[in-house]
Amino acid sequence: MKKVLVVVDYQVDFVSGALGFEAARVLEPKIEQQVQTALQQGWKVVFTRDTHPADYLNTREGTFLPVPHCIEGSNGWNLYGSLLKYQIDTPQNVYFLNKPTFGCAALPDFIRGLCNGEPDEVAICGIVTNICVVSNAILLHSALLTSKISVLADLCAAADPADHKNALALLSGMGYDVRNSDS
């Protein structure tokens, strides 16, 4: 079985910090449960971490989103809440991939390396649905041509519920398996 759960950017700055929002906070226990279940079932778990330098505001993304966040090594860069334990004491089959942009171009090859080829399935959850989740889902869908790509709708969030809904509709229209985590 070659299955991977990707948790996109569930970091302090996106949950309770500079760009935090309530819909992200309430995901914590559900994402934690999904990670535990995935590990118990033999899945690999990849946490992406939005990662920026101190001069973030001088980058292309910084001019689009002019709020310093996820500065590497800062508290806001860390995984949020109960998920921080995976960063502090990383168990087997848990991996981290730092990404400087919305989408992580290295993610498909990273997953291929973990699975010694294309995985059977990649399930994606995290935040922000209409920015980083969509960007990484599209990269994976475009690169992993034989893998089932699932987006766990109830484990994703955006600050604006309409943006969340629209992003999921876009992904569904592109052939992703958009579903809740319990189905």
The Cα–Cα gap between 111 and 48 comes to 12
Residue 183 has pLDDT above 80, yes or no: no
DSSP assignment of 17-78: STT--HHHHTTHHHHHHHHHHHHHTT-EEEEEEE-B-TTGGGSHHHHHS-S---BTTSGGGS
pTM exceeds 0.85, yes or no: yes
What's the domain count of the chain? Answer: 1
- For residue 22, what are the contacts with CB-CB under 8 A and spacing of at least 6? none
Query: What are the tens digits of pLDDT across the range 3-28?
Result: 999 999 999 999 999 999 999 999 99
Q: What is the CATH number of the domain that holds 51?
A: 3.40.50.850
pLDDT tens-digit series, residues 94-140: 999 999 989 999 999 999 999 999 999 999 999 999 999 999 999 99
Length of the chain in residues, anyone?
A: 183
Q: Domain range spanning residue 58?
A: 3-179
pLDDT above 90: percentage of residues in the chain: 84
